[in-house]
Structure 1
Amino acid sequence: MSTATIRLMQPENLAEVTRLAEKESWNYSQDVIKALFEYSPEGSFIAELQGKVIGVAMGFNMSEEEAFGGMWIVCKQHRGLGIGTRLRQKVEEYIGDRNLGIFSVAERVVPNKRLGFTVESWKVRHVSGTIATEKIKLSEDCIVSAFPSQGVQFDALIQYDTKIHSIERERFLRVWVEGKSTTTLVAMSKADEIVGYGVIRRDSNNTTLLGPLYGETSAIIKTLLVSLMGKTTFGETVDMWVPVGSEILQELLTENKNTLKVHAEFTRMFYYHDVKAPRKKIFSIASGAVAHHC
């Protein structure tokens, strides 16, 4: 058993947690880790040994019934000493009896079942590269405007997001959509109703993340996608986390086969029951780093 101390993460730990994530090949920028921490400081734990951060685990209580897990990392030289188990216990104490969900890499699906994640749900793919938007056919199903704008304030965005996600997540969205390097676009119907929205943000690693991106129809999703890509520079690489089975993704991969690649696939898993989501209305989730969110 290691003598490492397990305690709540503090703002001054963010840089060291980021270095640990990078060292262990978790592609999390400090900006994303900061957003996660600000969303759930009471569910963010570190393992510390001789003043050095050697492990981290994060949990996020979404409602009285639902919770999701984020990072769970222990540096290689300190594995097998029970540190990961102690970190996980802290997260479990924080979430209580809630239905915990995660996104799991393929090789962890079976071990995660032994840890209590008995329900397998849908999968997402990590996709990155450049997109030739001129090849995307658009129709005039909506009007896209920047958020916030007249008639589209935060309460309205929350209401639409909750329709998709099924769980109200105001605290997360305030952190995710209001960053200095973030652009949020909202799609409005001719009746002035929100019919989709999308977010694009640049993190401290100079990575451009595209998501979440939701829309009531494929045409609306495509319009938002083209509008969001218009906020990037020519040839800029974007990162996306897209549900498996997305017809729009397949179309993009076909049209951009030399510049857009699938890197990995992850399975959504839960303790007790699946949390349903209208996948046809979801083009991309916030990020694999924010795996507890659509």
Structure 2
Amino acid sequence: MPDSNQHEAIRYRAFTPDDIAAGHALSSAVRWRHRPDDWRFAAQTSSGIAAVDASGAVVGTALAWKFGVEAASIGMFIVSPEHQQLGIGRELIERHIRELGARTVVMHAIGSGLALCETLGFEKTGTIHQHQGAAFQPPLVSLPPGERLRPIGANDTPRLVDLASRASGLDRSAVLPQLLDVASGIALDRDGELLGFALFRRFGDGHVIGPVVAPDSPNESRAKALISYWLALHAGMFVRVDTPARLGLSTWLEGLGLPHVDSIERVVRNGPLPVDATSIEYAIASQALG
């Protein structure tokens, strides 16, 4: 049984860059694949809270990202295994909820974290399937006539922000340019009009494909073409894709050699998000970013 005296000794303060090593140690303790650089990117793009014990050790974290004045996400939510069931996780989330106010808040959670979110007013909105692997054989996927894949250029950023914001229902004007600084990108183009895109970047002990945004198409061919592009360039590398289960890409990804290794629930408080159905987010950037 946890010692209730431990809870009395816990204090809460802002998460700072000096806490990155401690955050990385926490994520390693719960077997997350994050690198210190992944924590550094998270800390640079968010505001966070650290739970600290009497010795000064960081025993819990939760970071929050604001997307304009209407929405936010909470992620990097961890309590050390030795300090769970003390109410620390609830306090971390409640502090962010109070600060975020009336914003629509997105989280991804499983197990006890999911149960906690539901007691705090979050509602399930869908399941995310995590796929990862290194031995894949991507097919060549045909695009509709007049459409092609091309490298993303500097002048594409406003359109990328617009597509990403409409597909997710979250204002990506601040975070997407920062993602572009650490990612490579491929665009789906039709006669000079940018229709969709997919980013590829280092993450954990491999790489992640996401976000992937494209218009609806028969058999999800546009999304498959964007994902296949990156897989073909990085055969043999460890790659991860997090895709909403409802979109039906999981069977196709498994057939390529990217097994479905985990499922996590997407939950929303003060929802729903104003998603534009003309652009679909086939893979998310990360669970932390919503």
Q: How does 1:61-72 map to 2 (within 5 A)?
A: 61-72=66-77
Given the alignment of the two structures, is residue 89 of structure 1 paired with residue 94 of structure 2, yes or no?
A: yes
Given the alignment of the two structures, is residue 173 of structure 1 paired with residue 179 of structure 2, yes or no?
A: no
Distance in structure 1 (CA, Å) of the matches to 2:9 and 2:260: 41
Deviation digits for residues 75-124 of structure 1, max 9, x if unmatched?
Answer: 1222233332332232123212222221121564444322221x221211
- CA contact 1:160–1:194 (8 Å) conserved in 2: no
**Which amino acid counterpart does residue 112 of structure 1 have in structure 2?**
C
Distance in structure 2 (CA, Å) of the matches to 1:36 and 1:139: 35
1:252 aligned counterpart, secondary structure: helix
Distance in structure 1 (CA, Å) of the matches to 2:165 and 2:288: 20
What is residue 3 of structure 2 aligned with on the other side?
A: none
What is residue 264 of structure 1 aligned with on the other side?
A: 262
Equivalenced residue count is: 277
Distance in structure 2 (CA, Å) of the matches to 1:284 and 1:7: 33
The Cα of 1:280 is off from its aligned counterpart by 7.7
Q: How does 1:185-264 map to 2 (within 5 A)?
A: 185-190=186-191, 192-203=192-203, 205-216=204-215, 217=217, 218-232=220-234, 234-253=235-254, 255-256=255-256, 259-264=257-262
Given the alignment of the two structures, is residue 46 of structure 1 paired with residue 43 of structure 2, yes or no?
A: no
Distance in structure 2 (CA, Å) of the matches to 1:174 and 1:227: 22
**Which amino acid counterpart does residue 198 of structure 2 have in structure 1?**
G
What is residue 283 of structure 1 aligned with on the other side?
A: 282
What is residue 24 of structure 2 aligned with on the other side?
A: 18
Distance in structure 2 (CA, Å) of the matches to 1:108 and 1:78: 14
Distance in structure 2 (CA, Å) of the matches to 1:99 and 1:248: 27
Superposition TM-score, scaled by structure 2 size = 0.86
Distance in structure 2 (CA, Å) of the matches to 1:18 and 1:279: 38
The Cα of 1:223 is off from its aligned counterpart by 2.2
Change (3 A) 1:213 1:35: same
Superposition RMSD on alpha carbons, in Å?
2.2
Change (3 A) 1:271 1:167: closer
The Cα of 1:226 is off from its aligned counterpart by 2.2
- CA contact 2:188–2:197 (8 Å) conserved in 1: yes
2:91 aligned counterpart, secondary structure: helix
Q: Which moved more, 1:97-106 or 1:50-59?
A: 97-106
**Which amino acid counterpart does residue 193 of structure 2 have in structure 1?**
E
Given the alignment of the two structures, is residue 29 of structure 1 paired with residue 32 of structure 2, yes or no?
A: no
The Cα of 1:140 is off from its aligned counterpart by 4.8
1:242 aligned counterpart, secondary structure: strand
Deviation digits for residues 213-271 of structure 1, max 9, x if unmatched?
Answer: 11113332222222222332x32221110110333432232x33xx3211111222122
> Structure 1: which 5+ residue stretches go unaligned?
none
> Structure 2: which 5+ residue stretches go unaligned?
1-6
The Cα of 1:53 is off from its aligned counterpart by 1.3
Change (3 A) 1:82 1:226: closer
- CA contact 1:28–1:289 (8 Å) conserved in 2: no
2:160 aligned counterpart, secondary structure: helix
- CA contact 2:199–2:211 (8 Å) conserved in 1: yes
Distance in structure 2 (CA, Å) of the matches to 1:81 and 1:173: 36
Greater than 3 Å deviation, 4+ residue runs: 106-111, 276-280
The Cα of 1:25 is off from its aligned counterpart by 2.4
From 143, 146, 153, give the equivalent of 1:148: 153
Distance in structure 1 (CA, Å) of the matches to 2:120 and 2:82: 23
- CA contact 1:123–1:265 (8 Å) conserved in 2: yes
- CA contact 1:38–1:175 (8 Å) conserved in 2: no
**Which amino acid counterpart does residue 71 of structure 1 have in structure 2?**
M
The Cα of 1:276 is off from its aligned counterpart by 4.9
1:273 aligned counterpart, secondary structure: coil
**Which amino acid counterpart does residue 213 of structure 1 have in structure 2?**
V
**Which amino acid counterpart does residue 245 of structure 2 have in structure 1?**
V
Change (3 A) 1:263 1:201: same
Change (3 A) 1:264 1:276: farther
- CA contact 2:127–2:244 (8 Å) conserved in 1: yes
Distance in structure 1 (CA, Å) of the matches to 2:114 and 2:12: 26
Percent identity, please.
Answer: 18
